Structures are given as structure tokens and as C-alpha cells.
């Protein structure tokens, strides 16, 4: 379902402040965890006025194999909708749906082309991945699907000489186990990194089945899973001006599908296999930087349940091959004017049981991104993208954004941000080709977003902080929804809804270092979200209703204290009431969720051992993120990792 | 439907207090003490969104002034289950077959309070009682195109212990069933037969071939059994079975061509059939010698019912994930009013 850098997309004015973000991203666990050299994400300088937030990468470094679903749950104000622990998990920005969230991996959209969304439980990023969240539409930068927002996964290139190896083993409640091994090497010319993780769980926790006669306590059935992930990167510096990179990411997941409480256990199983390969050549030529990328993805999703007794499709096989390429050229036209031109092509080859045959679709788009700083305190970006899709053409999607530095002194800076952006979403392959129902003539969805915000940065001695307040309005037209066909007893997609939303987002992060021994850091993010469509009420009058599974209030907060080799980390989220149907008949009550962990590092020469004990759902809250899908009660995890790093010369 | 075109006909959703509901029923019973707030009225089965426990029973009071959209949850503070298929009253209990929860929920017929559950079933669809302690339920088993090689099933229920005592193999995907003269008739919707089961021995003693996809069965005032069947390659039909005459068949083939079977019910006197086929609703006297040529209502019902006393026609329609609607019609086909219920209203039970 689903479907999105750095600190604030403020390349210039905030340049001196960027280390605030880095202090989160890279505050070294110990002296040995060398800082990652950050090459600015390619979008950042063209995202003036947009809200782009880096996610704490320490989580990924400490717990390799943790999925994006877990990361976002603990570190973002986004609502994560999950069918259960390790099950299908989707994320939506600003009151849109999972299919309005674009997920890009090093510049390529990796949403499943059949469903048009990403399952965040199937995305265990490797340890050196940097995760950023683009809140709000950004069709010009990120293409189809970036209607509500985008999750950006980047693996930055660094040739700084280093050699590192890390192995980790984690054990937890309900049969949770995770093994990880990562290694990296760089010698100034060649950089290699490999990462392997295996995560599994029996998920056989006890819960109260509130849908059954007598509300008995039961053991969760049919919810075990295991997942293997392997990621490899090779970067080669051909010359000072040229670089070649190859990246591969393979994830294989087998899941039993946790049934809804009150529904028959049909022993459903799903096998996913996601192979992603890409190569990238970048060279400084003719006064500019040219980048050529090519990628091949293969996504397999096979589902089956107790075929003989089921009344719905009990077998579904789908394999999609995606071929993508991008060519980009960026050059500085004037000292304060920068231009990037690009073009991309995508070819999808789908073998899906529901399509009744092979289906191919081609999509192209070209884009131009302009960044202009007319004054030292004023940054403007103007981006446009035009896409062409086999059969129809999405609209031209422009974005205009600005950052205006209002005030700056020794420790403080205040920046005003504003952004207007258009977005689009091409119908998914299922929307177009599923039989029966699929409609090749569906219109793409389109949306507009308007936002404005204030950002405050503080830096004084050992205290740094960043606070951002954003208000926005959003609308999506021709929202595609599957509904009962007028022709027969099946569903079909139609351009049905118009959804309007508005909201507020507040985000604040702080970092304080006291002498050498104490480090305090923490942050909080809050989102107020209104997202409505009009539906008939019992009197058949159209009434604005909050979209289902969009909480009005969501808050996430986290804090970490480090003292010498010890650290204590906690995070807490509060999620408001969520309606579970579009008629707003039913809802899930608000709930808090608290996690905590205690870690200790032992160092001996070039070796380092890390012990980490965690309690998840510490308050033992009974909650659901998707109605009637049981979620784990209080549970524990214990991990040990061993690292070795070559001494720095 | 276009609900807003009917807006002046609305009933209000009165999810009132228990007291209010109790008082609303005071005037309409023969013995003076009501046995419960919901002794009389129309019970609307809402299938719900398949795969989620959103099935419900909506209740409409006899004066049609009080509607409780979620009767089961209102009374029992929990969801009914996943995909309610039918509601059957028997003495002081009501049995709700919830097909994707693989259970039959048992509630008090007058208060709707949960009193038990029958588990151990596969996709229970429709139920028929032989007497107060023994009943049969069809289990919608046997999609042969998924490689299923078994048979469809009818299970025998002991209503004293709420358990399954025996499972009888019938044709694939059995749907409608009825008991007449000590025999249980079962429509095997993925085949072309009606299974006849001896209710003393619980053994299939005859199989009547009626043609493609028999789905619903009713018994008329003359003790004839009517079958509504669909047709995959040729048109569906209404078929009259004469149980007293060696199950002799009279077939009325629809002129519309191949189509799935719709709904089939009768009026209170059981001398008029009301059915849907090919997206339209028809009414036909059981004494008629030919199918009606004009439709009563040009709309396709998801659920269809006829009030046995007033003859009012109840028509259920709805989306797969949003509130459905019930439209009430005069026996002549004139719209009376409409009101919002829950997802996919698929059946009406009158009491």
C-alpha cells in the first residue's frame, strides 16, 4: 500500500547548521564508528520550502535488519498501519493513503508496480542506509506516487579508507531472532560494503479475542515469518572526476499471514522476493556533473491459502520485472543559479495470475530542477516534471518553493519556508489490468499541496537544536477506489473521490553534550491531520468525514542518554483515535506505546562488543493499528554484537 | 442507488437507550409482557466486508420508526464476526451463520443477548431446523477450480449442546435448504442437483437433477418446492418440484440468457414468488403457467425480503466497504422509503 533529506533541505543558509542533523545521524557510538561521509542527497538543494527530515540512522546501525516499519514507528509522526508484527505494514503522509507514499532507493522508485505501494515490513535497509522523509507532495522531484510524501533511502558513497566488520545476534520474546553480519572496506579508490541479515519470529503471543463468544484468551495462530536480506555495494573511483557504483539489495521473506480476529484461519502464506540491482556512473564533464543510472528490479509476490475451502481468490502469483534508467545533468549556470535536467524511463513486465497474461507498460518522464538564490537570505527552487505513460498523460507537475532567512545571530536562525507543489499518481498495474475490473482508461490521480513553515535552529556551545512548525493544505482529485461493479459481482477501480486535508506538523530535536562523558539527545514530532472526503450520512446528505485510519493526533518522542560506555534510550508514541471505516461507524481508541533499551559497550583494542537489552511495548498496551489484528504485548529483546575496525592510520 | 434522491424518505437512526427501545415495543404484543426489546421487527443481515469482523444485524421496529444499525454490538458489546450469511429464528433463539468466522452465533430471540456459539463449521451459509433441538446447516465448500476434490457439506446440529453431530456429503457449494415432510432439500449451487436427505437417518436418499447452479429454495402454500437456479452457458430457470409426485419437475426458463441466480422468497400467504434474475425483481403467482414478462422493480438487489404480514418489499443494496442501504417498496413496486444500514445487507428476517 504504499508508498518517501536531510535535516531540512536547506542547503545553503542552513549549511552551518546541518551538523545538527548529523549529530543525530552520526553521533558515533564510540570512537571507532567512523563518521559516514555524506554526499548531499541529490534532491536537497532543489527542495527549498519543502519539509525533509532525516531519520536517526543510529537505529539501523545498532540493529541491522530492523525494518523500515520499526524505524518509522519509533522515530516519526507518521501513522504506521500494520496487519501484525512483521506483517504488511504501510505508511501514509498527511492523511493520504499508503499508495500516496513514494519510496525511492538511491533515486529509483521501488513501490510494487502491481499494488502501487511498498510494504515496509519488506524493507530492512542495510546499516549504512540514510532514511529521509519528505512530507508533502513532490511530484516534480520524486515522480509518480509522491502525493502525500516520500520515503527516501540513500546509500552514500565514501572512499575514506576504512575496514570494518560487525556481527550481531539478537533474541527476543515469541521466538524473535535476528542475525546480522556487515562488513565494509575502502581504500580511497575502491569502496565495498556487504550486509546480511536474517530475522525470524514465531509471533505466538497470547491475546484476548474480543470477537469470539466469551472473549477467550488465545494464542496467535499462523503469524510466523522469516526474512533474509543481503545488500552489496561496490564503488570505484575511475578518476578524480568519475565514479562508478553498483548496488544490489535482495530480500526474501516468507510469512504466514496473521488472520483478523474473528475471521477463519485459512493458513494463508505469502512469499516475497525482491531483487534490486542498480549501477550508477557519475562524471564531471563539460562544466557540469552527469549521472547515468540503470536498474533492474524483480519483485515476486505469491500468496496462497487453504484453496479448497476459500470463497475468495486463494492463489495469487505475481512477478514483475522493472527496468529503469535515468540520465541527469547538473550544472552551475551562475554562482547563485543551478540547473539539473533529467530524463527517466521505466518498463514493467508483469506476469500476474489476475491479469490473464503478460502485461507490459512503459513510462517516461523528463524533469528540470532549478535552484536560484537571488539574495544571500533567499533561496528559490522551481522544479517541473512531465510524465508520459502508455495510454495517457499525467499533468505537468511543477513545484515552487522558497526559504527566506528572517533572522540570524550567533546562536539562532529563523527561516520562513513556503512551498506549492503538484503531484500525480499513475494508476497501478492492478488498477489497469486486473481481470475482471481493471480499467486501462483510468485517469491518474492528481493533487496540489500548499505549505508554509517556520524553522528555528539553535547552536550554542554544546547545545544544538532544531525546531520546525509547518502548516499545510492538500487536495487529491480522482482518488482511485475499488468499488462494486455495475456490471456484475466484482470490484472495479474508479476515479471516485476527492479528498481534502489540512494539518500542522511540529518537529523539534535537541542534542546536548556535557563534558566528554555525558550526551543527552532527544526529539519530538507531532502531527495534527485532517483529511476528509464527502459521504452520504443516514439522511443521505453529503457530509465531510475523516478518512479511515487517519489519526487526528500522532506524537512521537524519543530521548537518549549516554554516559561513558552506557546508554539508555526510550521512545514513546501517542496515536489518537482512528476510524476504521469511511462511514466513521467504528474506531480504534487512542493508545500510547513505549519502548526502552539499555546498552553497554566494551572496547578492547580494535574490538568492540555491544550489549543491548530492550523492552518493547513496556506499558503492555493492548492496541491495534489495523482493526482486529492483534499486536504484541510487552516483550523483550537482547542482543550482542561484535565489531572490529581497522585502526585509523 | 442514489441515496440523495430519496432524502425526504428518511428514517432516523435512533440508537436509543434501552428504556426507549423497550417502550417502543409495548403496544404490539398479544400477551402483555414483552419477552424482550426485540421480540418483533425486521432483522436485516449485513454481510460486512469480507475478511474483517464487520458483519452486523440491523433491527427495524414493527412501526418502522426505530432503527438500530448494529443490534448485535449494541447488545453484546462485541462484533458479530466476518461475513454474516443468514439469520434463523427458532423458538426463543436466533442463529446467525457467520461464514468467514466459521461459526453460528446463538442469541436470545427476544433480547438478542449472546447465549452461545456453534463452532467447527466451514463457511456456514443457511440453516433449517427440524425441531427445537435438531437443525441442518449448509457449508459452502467446494470450489472445484482450485483443485478441490471433495464434496460440499451439510452439517447436522444438536441445538441442545450447540455442537455438530454429523456431516453429510452433498454436491459442491451447497446454498439454500428447506425441510418438508421429513426430508431435507439442499441446493448444490456449483452443480446441477438438489440433494434429498432423510432426516431420520441423515443419509442422502435421492438426487434431483435440475440444471446449472441451483441456489435458493422456497416452499409454497401448495407444498411445492421452487428452485431458483442460474445458468453459465444457457439461461437460468425457476423450477417447481412436486415432492408428492416423485419429485416431478416443471421448468420455467428465463428469456434473459445466462446469468447467476438472484434472490428468491415468497409473500406471507406463500402463493406469490418474489425473485430476482438478471438484475431485476419479478413477482409471480405460484399458480401462474408462465414467467412474468415485466419486472416489478428494475434494480438488482443484494438482499431481498417480503414482510409476510404487510407485503412490504425490502431491498438491500450497498458497497463492499461502506454503509449499505435498505429501500422499502409497496407490493406494487412503489418506493416507500429508504434507510442506511451496514455493509452489504443480504437478507431480511421478519418476526
Domain ranges of chain A: 2-36+43-645
Position A29 scores a pLDDT of 37
Other C-beta atoms closer than 10 Å to the C-beta of B24 total 18
CA distance B231 to B229: 7
Question: pLDDT tens across A580-594, in order?
Answer: 988 889 999 999 999
Q: Is residue B235 part of a domain?
A: no
| pLDDT value of residue A314 | 61
* Dist CA A99 CA A68 (whole Å): 16
**Interface confidence (ipTM) of the complex:** 0.81
How close, in Å, is residue A535 to chain B by CA atoms? Answer: 9
Question: Is residue B298, in this structure, part of any structural domain at all?
Answer: no
- More confidently predicted of B151 and A248: A248
- Any idea what DSSP says for residue A187? -
Give the closest of B7, B148, B322 to A540, CB-based.
Answer: B7
Q: Which has the closest alpha carbon to B266: B350, B189, B170, B169?
A: B350
A279: Cβ contacts below 8 Å, ≥ 6 apart: A244, A245, A246, A247, A293, A294, A295
Beta-carbon separation of A583 and B322 below 8 A: yes
Nearest CA in chain B to A307: B146
**For the segment B325-337, what is each residue's pLDDT rounded down to a tens digit?**
999 999 999 999 9
CB contacts, 8 Å: A542 with chain B = 4
- Domain-located, residue B289: no
d(CA A233, CA B16): 65
> Residue A376, Cα to own-chain centre: how many angstroms?
33
Q: How far apart are CA A522 and CA B59, in angstroms?
A: 53
Q: Answer yes or no: is B168 within a domain.
A: yes
- Report d(CA B239, CA B252) in Å as an integer: 6
Q: Which homologous superfamily does the CATH classification assign to the domain defined by A2-36+43-645?
A: TonB-dependent receptor, beta-barrel domain (2.40.170.20)
**d(C-alpha B274, C-alpha B266), whole Å:** 6
Give the 3-state secondary structure of residue A26: helix
In a domain, B189, yes or no: yes
Pull the grid cell for residue B328: 422499502
Could you tell me the maximum CA-CA distance found in chain B, to the nearest angstrom? 57
Q: Residue B182: which CATH number?
A: 2.40.10.480
Q: How far apart are CA A22 and CA B115, in angstroms?
A: 61
Residue A590 is given by DSSP the state: P
- DSSP conformation letters of A129-153: -EEEEEES--HHHH-TTTTSEEEEE
Distance CA A640, CA A636 (A): 14
Structure confidence at residue B147 (pLDDT):
61
pLDDT value at B19 more than 70: no
Classified as helix, coil or strand, B155 is: strand
Alpha helices in chain B (DSSP H): 18-24, 71-76
Q: How confident is the model at residue B150 (pLDDT cuts 50, 70, 90)?
A: confident
Whole-angstrom CA distances from A498 to A15, A211, A544, A578, A587 are 39, 34, 11, 20, 22
Report the C-alpha gap between A273 and A399 in whole angstroms: 35
Integer angstrom CA distances of residue A81 from A78, A465, A543, A631: 10, 30, 25, 11
Question: CA neighbours within 13 Å on the CB side: how many for A240?
Answer: 0
SS3 B114: strand
pLDDT, residue B110, reads 97
Q: Is A538 within 8 Å of B50 when comparing Cβ atoms?
A: no
Residues of chain A with pLDDT under 50: 1-40, 308-312
C-alpha cell at B221: 402454500
Q: Do B150 and A261 touch (CB under 8 A)?
A: no
Contact B81 A211 (CB under 8 A): yes
The pTM (predicted TM-score) of the whole model is: 0.86
Q: What span, in angstroms and rounded, lies between the C-alpha atoms of A202 and A194?
A: 27
What sign for the dihedral angle of Cα A5, A11, A15, A17? negative
Q: In the numeric block, which cell numbers belong to residue A147?
A: 502525493
- Contact map slice: B 256-285 vs A, CB within 8 A: 260
| B42 domain-assigned | no
Whether residues B102 and A627 touch (CB distance < 8 A) is answered with no
Number of domains in chain B: 1
Q: What is the predicted pLDDT for the residue at B77?
A: 95
pLDDT averaged over chain B? 89
Q: Kindly list the residues from chain B whose CB atom is less than 8 angstroms away from the CB atom of residue A581.
A: 49, 54, 321-322, 343
Q: SS3 breakdown of chain A: % helix, strand, coil, rounded to 5?
A: 10, 60, 35
B13 touches A at CB < 8 Å: yes
The range of the structural domain enclosing residue B194 comes to 120-209
Dist. CA B104–CA B107, nearest whole Å:
10
Torsion angle defined by CA atoms of residues A20, A26, A31 and A35, in that order, rounded to the nearest 10 degrees? -110
Nearest to B72 by CA among B308, B342, B303, B321: B342
Rounded CA-CA distance B92/B94 in Å is 7
Please choose, from the candidates A137, A169, A162, A167, the residue with its C-alpha nearest in 3D space to the C-alpha of residue A150. A137
- Whether B100 has a pLDDT exceeding 50, the answer reads yes
Q: What confidence score (pLDDT) does residue A627 get?
A: 92
Element of type H or E holding A175: none
Number of residues in chain A = 649
For the cut 90, the answer to whether the pLDDT of residue B135 exceeds it is yes
Query: Out of A27-31, A222-226, B155-159, B212-216, which region has the weakest mean confidence (pLDDT)?
Result: A27-31
Contact present, A44 and A9 (Cβ < 8 Å): yes
Q: Which of A626, A640, A596 is nearest to A169 (CA)?
A: A640
Amino acid at each position: 500500500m504504499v508508498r518517501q533529506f536531510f535535516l531540512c533541505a536547506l542547503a545553503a543558509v542552513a549549511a552551518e547548521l546541518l551538523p545538527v542533523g548529523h549529530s543525530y545521524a552520526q553521533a558515533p557510538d564510540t570512537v571507532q564508528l567512523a563518521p559516514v561521509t555524506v554526499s548531499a542527497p541529490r534532491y536537497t538543494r532543489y527542495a527549498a520550502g519543502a519539509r525533509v527530515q532525516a531519520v536517526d540512522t543510529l537505529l539501523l546501525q545498532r540493529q541491522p535488519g530492523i525494518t523500515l516499519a520499526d524505524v518509522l514507528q519509533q522515530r516519526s509522526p507518521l501513522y504506521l498501519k500494520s496487519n501484525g508484527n512483521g506483517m504488511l505494514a504501510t505508511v501514509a503522509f498527511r492523511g493520504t493513503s499508503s499508495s500516496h507514499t513514494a519510496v525511492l532507493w538511491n533515486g529509483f522508485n521501488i513501490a510494487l508496480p502491481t499494488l502501487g505501494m511498498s510494504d515496509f515490513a519488506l524493507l530492512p535497509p542495510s546499516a549504512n542506509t540514510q532514511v529521509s522523509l519528505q512530507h508533502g507532495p513532490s511530484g516534480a522531484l520524486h515522480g509518480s506516487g509522491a502525493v502525500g510524501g516520500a520515503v527516501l533511502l540513500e546509500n552514500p558513497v565514501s572512499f575514506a579508507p576504512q575496514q570494518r566488520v560487525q556481527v550481531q545476534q539478537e533474541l527476543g520474546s515469541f521466538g524473535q531472532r535476528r542475525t546480522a553480519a556487515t562488513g565494509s572496506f575502502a581504500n580511497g579508490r575502491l569502496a565495498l560494503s556487504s550486509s546480511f541479515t536474517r530475522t525470524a519470529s514465531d509471533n505466538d503471543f497470547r491475546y484476548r479475542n474480543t470477537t469470539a463468544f466469551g472473549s477467550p484468551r488465545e494464542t496467535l495462530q499462523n503469524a510466523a515469518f522469516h526474512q533474509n536480506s543481503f545488500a552489496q555495494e561496490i564503488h570505484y573511483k575511475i578518476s578524480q572526476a568519475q565514479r562508478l557504483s553498483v548496488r544490489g539489495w535482495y530480500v526474501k521473506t516468507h510469512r504466514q499471514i496473521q488472520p483478523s480476529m474473528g475471521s477463519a484461519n485459512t493458513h494463508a502464506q505469502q512469499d516475497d522476493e525482491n531483487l534490486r540491482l542498480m549501477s550508477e556512473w557519475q562524471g564531471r564533464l563539460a562544466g557540469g556533473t552527469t549521472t547515468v543510472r540503470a536498474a533492474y528490479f524483480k519483485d515476486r509476490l505469491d500468496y496462497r491459502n487453504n484453496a479448497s475451502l476459500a470463497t475468495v481468490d486463494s492463489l495469487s502469483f505475481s512477478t514483475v520485472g522493472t527496468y529503469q534508467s535515468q540520465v541527469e545533468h547538473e550544472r552551475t549556470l551562475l554562482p547563485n543559479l543551478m540547473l539539473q535536467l533529467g530524463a527517466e524511463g521505466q518498463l514493467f513486465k508483469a506476469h500476474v495470475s489476475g491479469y490473464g497474461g503478460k502485461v507490459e507498460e512503459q513510462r517516461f518522464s523528463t524533469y528540470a530542477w532549478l535552484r536560484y538564490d537571488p539574495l544571500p537570505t533567499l533561496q528559490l527552487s522551481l522544479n517541473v516534471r512531465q510524465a508520459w505513460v502508455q495510454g495517457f498523460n499525467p499533468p505537468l507537475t511543477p513545484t515552487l518553493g522558497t526559504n527566506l532567512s528572517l533572522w540570524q545571530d550567533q546562536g539562532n536562525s529563523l527561516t520562513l519556508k513556503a512551498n506549492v507543489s503538484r503531484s500525480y499518481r499513475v494508476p497501478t498495474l492492478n488498477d489497469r489490468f486486473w481481470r475482471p475490473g481493471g480499467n486501462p482508461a483510468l485517469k491518474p490521480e492528481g493533487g496540489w499541496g500548499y505549505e508554509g513553515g517556520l524553522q528555528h535552529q539553535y547552536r550554542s556551545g554544546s547545545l544544538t537544536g532544531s525546531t520546525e512548525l509547518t502548516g499545510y493544505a492538500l487536495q487529491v482529485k480522482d482518488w482511485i477506489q475499488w468499488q462494486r461493479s455495475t456490471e456484475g459481482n466484482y470490484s472495479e477501480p474508479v476515479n471516485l473521490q476527492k479528498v481534502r486535508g489540512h494539518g500542522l506538523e511540529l518537529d523539534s530535536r535537541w542534542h546536548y553534550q556535557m563534558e566528554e562523558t555525558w550526551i543527552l539527545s532527544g526529539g519530538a514530532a507531532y502531527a495534527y491531520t485532517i483529511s476528509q472526503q464527502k459521504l452520504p450520512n443516514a439522511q443521505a446528505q453529503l457530509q465531510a468525514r475523516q478518512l479511515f485510519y487517519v489519526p487526528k493526533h500522532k506524537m512521537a518522542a524519543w530521548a537518549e542518554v549516554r554516559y561513558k560506555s552506557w546508554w539508555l534510550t526510550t521512545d514513546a508514541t501517542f496515536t489518537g483515535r482512528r476510524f476504521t471505516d469511511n462511514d466513521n461507524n467504528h474506531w480504534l481508541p487512542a493508545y500510547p506505546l513505549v519502548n526502552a533499551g539499555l546498552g553497554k559497550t566494551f572496547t578492547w583494542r580494535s574490538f568492540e562488543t555491544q550489549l543491548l537489552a530492550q523492552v518493547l511495548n513496556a506499558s503492555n498496551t493492548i492496541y491495534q493499528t489495523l482493526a482486529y489484528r492483534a499486536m504484541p504485548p510487552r516483550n523483550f529483546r537482547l542482543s550482542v554484537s561484535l565489531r572490529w575496525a581497522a585502526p585509523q592510520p | 442507488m442514489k441515496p440523495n434522491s430519496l432524502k425526504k424518505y428518511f428514517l432516523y437512526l435512533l440508537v436509543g437507550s434501552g428504556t426507549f427501545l423497550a417502550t417502543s415495543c409495548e403496544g404490539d404484543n398479544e400477551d402483555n409482557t414483552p419477552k424482550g426489546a426485540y421480540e418483533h421487527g425486521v432483522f436485516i443481515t449485513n454481510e460486512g466486508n469480507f475478511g474483517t469482523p464487520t458483519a452486523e444485524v440491523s433491527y427495524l421496529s414493527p412501526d418502522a420508526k426505530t432503527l438500530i444499525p448494529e443490534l448485535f454490538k449494541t447488545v453484546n458489546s462485541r462484533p458479530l464476526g466476518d461475513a454474516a450469511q443468514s439469520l434463523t429464528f427458532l423458538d426463543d433463539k436466533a442463529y446467525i451463520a457467520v461464514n468467514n468466522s466459521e461459526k453460528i452465533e446463538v442469541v436470545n430471540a427476544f433480547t438478542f443477548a449472546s447465549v452461545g456459539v456453534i463452532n467447527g463449521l466451514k463457511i456456514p451459509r443457511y440453516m433449517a431446523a427440524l425441531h427445537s433441538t435438531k437443525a441442518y446447516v449448509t457449508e459452502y465448500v467446494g470450489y472445484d477450480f482450485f483443485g478441490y476434490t471433495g464434496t460440499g457439506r451439510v452439517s447436522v446440529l444438536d441445538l441442545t449442546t450447540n455442537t455438530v453431530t454429523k456431516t453429510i456429503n452433498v454436491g459442491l457449494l451447497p446454498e439454500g435448504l428447506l425441510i418438508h415432510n421429513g426430508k431435507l432439500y439442499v441446493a448444490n449451487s456449483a452443480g446441477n442437483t438438489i440433494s434429498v436427505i432423510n432426516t431420520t437417518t441423515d443419509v442422502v436418499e435421492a438426487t434431483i437433477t435440475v440444471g446449472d447452479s441451483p441456489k435458493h429454495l422456497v416452499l409454497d402454500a401448495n407444498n411445492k418446492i421452487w428452485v431458483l437456479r442460474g445458468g453459465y452457458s444457457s439461461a437460468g430457470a425457476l423450477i417447481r418440484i412436486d415432492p408428492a409426485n416423485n419429485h416431478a419437475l416443471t421448468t420455467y426458463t428465463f428469456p434473459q440468457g445466462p446469468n447467476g441466480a438472484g434472490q428468491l422468497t415468497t409473500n406471507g400467504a406463500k402463493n406469490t414468488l418474489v425473485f430476482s434474475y438478471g438484475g431485476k425483481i419479478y413477482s409471480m403467482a405460484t399458480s401462474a403457467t408462465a414467467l412474468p414478462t415485466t419486472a416489478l422493480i428494475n434494480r438488482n438487489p443484494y438482499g431481498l425480503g417480503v414482510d409476510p404480514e404487510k407485503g412490504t418489499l425490502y431491498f438491500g443494496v450497498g458497497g463492499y466497504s461502506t454503509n449499505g442501504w435498505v429501500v422499502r417498496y409497496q407490493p406494487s413496486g412503489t418506493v416507500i422509503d429508504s434507510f442506511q444500514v451496514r455493509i452489504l445487507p443480504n437478507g431480511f428476517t421478519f418476526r
